[in-house]
C-alpha cells in the first residue's frame, strides 16, 4: 500500500491545506468536504456562534477589536477527527478568544498586533484546542 498525500486547493481563499492521509491505494477515495474562507470582523465584545457541518472548517476573524467567545454547534453526523482552523488578527491590544459551547473552553491568548492560527480537533463530543501558532 502506498503512502498518500493530498493537496486541497481552497479556491478564492488564498489558503492551501496539505493533508497527510492514512495509507491508501489508488482505488480508494478520500473525501474531505470543506467550508472555506468564512470571514468575520468583530468590533466589540461578542459571542460568535459557528455551526460545524464539514470535516474541515476554516474561519478567519480579522481585526478583533474586543475579546470574543466562540460557541460551536456541532451537527449530529460529524465524524471524529474533524478539524477547525481559526485565524485571529488582533488590533493594538491583545484580544483573547475563549472557547465556549462545543469546545474544551480553552483560551487563545491575544497579543497586540499579532496574528494567530488556532487548531481544534473533534473527539466525538467536543472540539479540543490542539495548538496555537503565532505567525508574525
Inside any domain, residue 94 = yes
Residue 18 lies in a domain: no
What is the pLDDT, as a whole number, of residue 103? Answer: 94
Convert 66-99 to b/e letters by CB count within 10 Å (16 or more is b).
ebbbbebebeeebeeebbbbbbbbbeeeebbbbb
> Would residue 28 count as lying in a domain?
no
86: domain CATH number is 2.60.120
pLDDT, position 41: 58
Say what the pLDDT of residue 15 is.
41
> What are φ and ψ of residue 63, in 5° steps?
55, 50
Q: What is the pLDDT of residue 113?
A: 85
Examine residue 87 and state whether it is found in any structural domain, yes or no. yes
How confident is the prediction along the chain (136 residues), in pLDDT tens digits per residue?
344 434 343 444 444 444 434 444 444 444 455 554 455 555 556 788 888 888 888 888 877 778 889 999 998 988 899 999 988 888 888 888 999 999 997 889 888 888 899 999 999 999 999 999 988 8
Per the structure, the complete domain to which residue 83 belongs is given by 35-134
10 located within any domain: no
Domain-located, residue 26: no
**Count of domains observed in the chain:** 1
Residue 17 lies in a domain: no
Instruction: Please answer whether residues 84 and 94 qualify as being in contact, where contact means their C-beta atoms are separated by less than 8 angstroms.
Output: no
Q: What is the pTM of this model?
A: 0.70
Whole-Å CA distances, 30 to 4, 7, 128, 129, 135? 10, 11, 24, 25, 30
In a domain, 8, yes or no: no
Amino acid at each position: 500500500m502506498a503512502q498518500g498525500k493530498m493537496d486541497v486547493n481552497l479556491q478564492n481563499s488564498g489558503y492551501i491545506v496539505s493533508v497527510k492521509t492514512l495509507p491508501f491505494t489508488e482505488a480508494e477515495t478520500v473525501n474531505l468536504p470543506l467550508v472555506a474562507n468564512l470571514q468575520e470582523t468583530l468590533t466589540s465584545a461578542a459571542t460568535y456562534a459557528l455551526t460545524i457541518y464539514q470535516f474541515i472548517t476554516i474561519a478567519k476573524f480579522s481585526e478583533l477589536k474586543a475579546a470574543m467567545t466562540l460557541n460551536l454547534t456541532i451537527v449530529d453526523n460529524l465524524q471524529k477527527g474533524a478539524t477547525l482552523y481559526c485565524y485571529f488578527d488582533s488590533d493594538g491590544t491583545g484580544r483573547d478568544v475563549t472557547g465556549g459551547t462545543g469546545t474544551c473552553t480553552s483560551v487563545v491568548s491575544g497579543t497586540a498586533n499579532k496574528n494567530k492560527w488556532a487548531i481544534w480537533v473533534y473527539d466525538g463530543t467536543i472540539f479540543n484546542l490542539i495548538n496555537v501558532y503565532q505567525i508574525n
